[in-house]
Structure 1
Amino acid sequence: MLRALEIRDMLIIDRLDLAFQPGLNVLTGETGAGKSILLDSLGFVLGWRGRAELVRSGADQGEVTAVFELPSGHAAFDVLEEAGLPVCDELILRRVNTADGRKTGWINDRRVSGEVLRRLSETLVELHGQHDDRGLLDPKGHRAILDAFGVPQDMLDRTRDAWTNRAAARKGLAEARAALEAVQAQEDFLRHSVAELDKLAPQPGEEAELDTRRRMMQAAEKIREDIAQASTALGYDGAEGAMSGALRWLEGAADKAEGRLDAPIGALVRAMAELDEAARGVADCLDALEFDPNDLDTTEERLFALRGLARKHGVQPDDLADHAATLTRQLEALDAGAARIDTWERAVRDADAAYDKAAQALTAARKAAATRLDAAVASELAPLKMERAVFLTEIATSGAGPEGTDAVQFTVATNPGAPSGPLNKIASGGELSRFLLALKVCLSEQQGSGVTMIFDEIDRGVGGATANAVGRRLLALSEGGQVLVVTHSPQVAALGGHHWRVEKRVTGDMTTSTVIPLGANDREAEIARMLAGDTVTDEARAAARALLAG
């Protein structure tokens, strides 16, 4: 509930500190005293869109602070968490408006946007009055109001789940059809490409291996002749034969050389061993360079085929195998596409049937709830001197959605036989106020607690017993919660648990508005003024005492 409201330099308010209480809080005062400015200031700190010029003339900026006390589990906690703000049981909202029009808001000293303030305000405050287009008068919210009044939550949940499943099935069918159409458009290409790739059967790393073999075979033709001549030079007709002859000659003369040939002979033996190793290596190389010319043609043909397919499909040669697998899967999807679409079409039919069943059950529940709500409002209208008026909740068919297929609108007929119409277009000012109050009384138990309800001159155009009935219902709404009423009705004001008078004062050339909390004697005087006007008589004072005594 709203605990405190501090206003600085807003319109004709220079400084104002208000401490509101649980129960029924009433604000009274003469017309033009500034009661609407209080609501404008509260709406400003809550992020509501209102007047463009709010800063008091001559001030650099205006500022409003509102303090709310939240019970455990209050709906505001979800908004705070979603906005990434700390959650606590005291909420301090502050908003500043500079003279040049810039607006800045804070929640518990954390800077926030006006949108966050507006979303939070929906959980904190309800404003009702003849010009209320945010609450009960807005047809866009009537379905949710009816659901909160008398539709089981599990029916709403089943309809939302059925809608989600229906949407998922339709999306799956659309995607399956789109995928099949995309594959069908290139069916000939896929079948040809898969056959071509299967026939070639490319392997990762094959292109590099083929390229190496090809270059070796191309080089072999150029170097083999030189290597063969080297092999001959190293053989028996060349170096090997000469060295062998030299070794025989030296070994024959060694006995007579008295050891002088031992070292040369040893060196020659080692050299012949190295020569033999070199000759074997050259021979092995010659063997390796032996190839069938057809092998070169075959290698080049496959290498060129791999590279050609790679270019054709826009991939690297080593990726051809994976690409072939991808195309094969697409072809398999094409072959299985019709069966998959049949499966999705059955899923859509089942989901449509489930949604239709849930939506029809929800419609039946809404119609039953509408009958109960209409009867409840009718019972409230009689004490408000509108027993001949008719309140009717109309339910029409609209487009399907997660909340079902119903469009809900509250309509009224103020006199028997008169045509019914939208609540905010048929009723007069006083009638509209009473319709709204009756509807709010019927909805209060279902809509929970923790919300401050504000009624702005909802009693306009009524008096006497009707005004007393309005006050009694406002008092009932305030039990266990908080109601703020801006009123010109002494019958309503007398029922308030806490009373403030709004006054306008002129000091020099400066006009300001202030709010004064009233004690028992002051309340009697204020209610007497409301009864009598400018001249308060003894009879008016006596009537005021009688109203306060109940």
Structure 2
Amino acid sequence: MLTQLTVSNFAIVKFLELDFHQGMTTITGETGAGKSIAIDALGLCLGARAEAAMVRPGAGKTEISACFDLRLIDAARRWLADNDLDDNDECILRRSISSEGRSKAWINGQPVPLAQLKALGQLLITIHGQHAHQGLLQSHTQLSLLDQYAGHRALLEGCSDGYRRWKHLDNELARLQQEQQQRQARQQLLEYQVQELDEFALEPGEFETIETEHRRLANCTTLMEQSQRAVYLLSDGDEVSAVGLLQQAIAEVESLAGDDKALEPGLALLHEGLIQLQEGANELAHYHQSLELDPQRFDELEQRLSRAMTLARKHQVKATELAQLHQSLADELKSLSASEQRLDELEGERQQAMDAYLQAAQRLNKSRQRYAKELNKLVTANLRELALPHAKFQIGVQFDDGSVSPAGGDRIQFQVSTNPGQPLQPLGKVASGGELSRISLAIQVITAKKVSTPTLIFDEVDVGISGPTAAVVGRMLRTLGDATQVFCVTHLPQVAGNGHNHMFVSKSTKGKVTETQMAALSNGDRLDELARLLGGDSITENTLANARELLMEPQPQT
């Protein structure tokens, strides 16, 4: 519930600090005093659009803060906790607008984006403006009012989830269908390319291997001759060889080592060298023996290398990258084939999603029909209390399974008949301005009882209503105020007299400076204000007596 509102330098308000209480609070004032100015300021604190013109002339900025008691508002406390903002029993919203039009917002002293201010504000206050009856002619407004009254949050979420699932699959299917022609052309090309590479079947690393073998066979004669010559020089020479010479050197040193131990390390190295030399000679001998001229194998390698080079040039890659390209093209072909399969699967999944959505939409439709009947009776009864004795109200709920939206497939139409024998017709076609105001008020008062927000504001919704009808409106709003906090900006004494609390808005001008003030009225001042509303500026005993009747107070004894 709203407990305090502080306004500084807003429009023609210099400074206001207002305390509020539970129940119905009526707000009245002189013509042109700005009875709705506190509501407008509160709207800014709840995230309404700000403009530089809202700043009081001569001031640098507008400051507005609103304090709320959250002890009975679990949804707001959960929201604050979810957004890592203090979730104590008290919550303070603050808004600042500079003279240049820049706006800042805070929740419990922490800077927040305007979207968060709006989101929290929707959990705290619902404002019914004086032009609400104009919006009532819109189909989406009518649908929202019905769902709000019926408490369709869970059903709407189920319908919205089903719609999003269907829409996601529908978009994916449309994308695949749109790409299908290009995909098929690409698939045909890939099938040819992959088949060609499959037939060649070059393995990873194979090109480097056959290139090495080809080089060895191409130089086989030279390799054979040179390796044989090396073996001869190392160990097979008839007159001299490296092994033989080293063996002679070792023998000479061994003959000297007995005389000088210093030769032993060198002798050990010579022995190691002899072993290495002999092993090297043996390896070369084995290598020479393994060499064999193989013209047939050479031709095979020649052809494979040539084919690899040709395919590499065709695909504009290096021959060493051909195997990798082969795998890449095969993977792409597999993916395209999977896309075709996915296309078939999506048709079925999309239909399943549509069936699930329609089931959710039909459940919502049945509930809407049920609550529409209930609302029809309540609004019709209220209209008859509001001086429309022959009025009949009906909500048309038509399900269209060809209409797909997050809010279901229903078309909602508020219909009314205000005179005997008159058929039900759309609201805007049969209701006059005054009748439309009363119909709007009847609907708002009923649906407001189902609103989860703890504070309701009715901003001059009683325009076009007077006399006994105004008294009925007052009683309706007071009954609503017995259950929750209600603010009502009004010019009707019959409505104002029903308030649990009463605030008065006045305007004063000093020189060229105009200022609006707002204050709570005592019982005596309240009588005077109701008398003024009843009889104008001239307050008489009769108007005071009528005011006492409105306040349900006994006449003073003489």
Hey, what does 2:240 align to over in structure 1? 239
CA–CA distance in structure 2, aligned partners of residues 241 and 507 of structure 1: 125
CA–CA distance in structure 1, aligned partners of residues 206 and 475 of structure 2: 93
1:527, distance to aligned residue in structure 2 (A): 1.3
1:483, distance to aligned residue in structure 2 (A): 0.5
CA–CA distance in structure 2, aligned partners of residues 283 and 291 of structure 1: 17
Contact 1:3 1:19 in 2 (8 A): yes
Deviations 1:165-196 (A, max 9, x none): 53355456446656765553234433333333
Is the partner of 2:36 in helix, strand or coil? helix
CA–CA distance in structure 2, aligned partners of residues 221 and 147 of structure 1: 95
Q: Which amino acid aligns with 2:395?
A: T
Is the partner of 1:239 in helix, strand or coil? coil
Is the partner of 1:488 in helix, strand or coil? coil
Deviations 1:192-222 (A, max 9, x none): 3333333333333323333333444455554
| 1:491 matches 2:491 | no
Q: How does 1:144-163 map to 2 (within 5 A)?
A: 144-150=144-150, 155-156=155-156, 158-163=158-163
Hey, what does 2:140 align to over in structure 1? 140
Deviations 1:470-497 (A, max 9, x none): 1110011112311101111112222211
CA–CA distance in structure 1, aligned partners of residues 23 and 283 of structure 2: 110
CA–CA distance in structure 1, aligned partners of residues 242 and 135 of structure 2: 117
CA–CA distance in structure 1, aligned partners of residues 397 and 420 of structure 2: 21
| 1:442 matches 2:446 | yes
Q: Which amino acid aligns with 1:389?
A: A
1:130, distance to aligned residue in structure 2 (A): 2.8
Q: How does 1:84-483 map to 2 (within 5 A)?
A: 85-132=85-132, 139-150=139-150, 155-156=155-156, 158-171=158-171, 173-174=173-174, 177=177, 181-218=181-218, 220-222=220-222, 224-234=224-234, 235-240=236-241, 276-277=278-279, 279-306=281-308, 308-309=310-311, 312=314, 324=326, 327-328=329-330, 341-396=343-398, 397=400, 399-416=403-420, 423=427, 427-448=431-452, 450-483=453-486
Mean CA deviation greater in 505-514 or 165-174:
165-174
Mean CA deviation greater in 51-60 or 155-164:
155-164
Deviations 1:26-71 (A, max 9, x none): 1111111121222221222222237651111221212111112224
Contact 1:203 1:318 in 2 (8 A): no
Hey, what does 2:550 align to over in structure 1? 547
Distance 1:136 1:116, change over 3 A: farther
Contact 1:430 1:458 in 2 (8 A): no
1:93, distance to aligned residue in structure 2 (A): 1.4
CA–CA distance in structure 2, aligned partners of residues 482 and 121 of structure 1: 15
Is the partner of 2:551 in helix, strand or coil? helix
Is the partner of 1:7 in helix, strand or coil? strand
* Count of residue correspondences: 535
Runs of 5+ consecutive residues of structure 1 not aligned to the other structure = 252-258
1:383, distance to aligned residue in structure 2 (A): 1.3
Mean CA deviation greater in 274-283 or 196-205:
274-283
1:225, distance to aligned residue in structure 2 (A): 3.5
Contact 1:240 1:272 in 2 (8 A): no
Contact 2:26 2:503 in 1 (8 A): yes
Hey, what does 1:255 align to over in structure 2? none
| 1:533 matches 2:502 | no
1:508, distance to aligned residue in structure 2 (A): 3.7
CA–CA distance in structure 2, aligned partners of residues 466 and 437 of structure 1: 11
CA–CA distance in structure 2, aligned partners of residues 85 and 241 of structure 1: 91
Q: Which amino acid aligns with 2:380?
A: A
CA–CA distance in structure 2, aligned partners of residues 47 and 361 of structure 1: 35
The TM-score with structure 1 as length reference comes to 0.83
Distance 1:45 1:156, change over 3 A: closer
Mean CA deviation greater in 16-25 or 180-189:
180-189
1:310, distance to aligned residue in structure 2 (A): 5.2
Q: What is the CA RMSD across the aligned residues, in angstroms?
A: 3.9
CA–CA distance in structure 2, aligned partners of residues 136 and 120 of structure 1: 25
CA–CA distance in structure 2, aligned partners of residues 341 and 241 of structure 1: 77
Query: Sequence identity of aligned pairs in percent?
Result: 37
Runs of 5+ consecutive residues of structure 2 not aligned to the other structure = 253-257, 554-558
Is the partner of 2:208 in helix, strand or coil? helix
Contact 1:390 1:413 in 2 (8 A): yes
CA–CA distance in structure 2, aligned partners of residues 242 and 20 of structure 1: 115
Distance 1:492 1:178, change over 3 A: closer
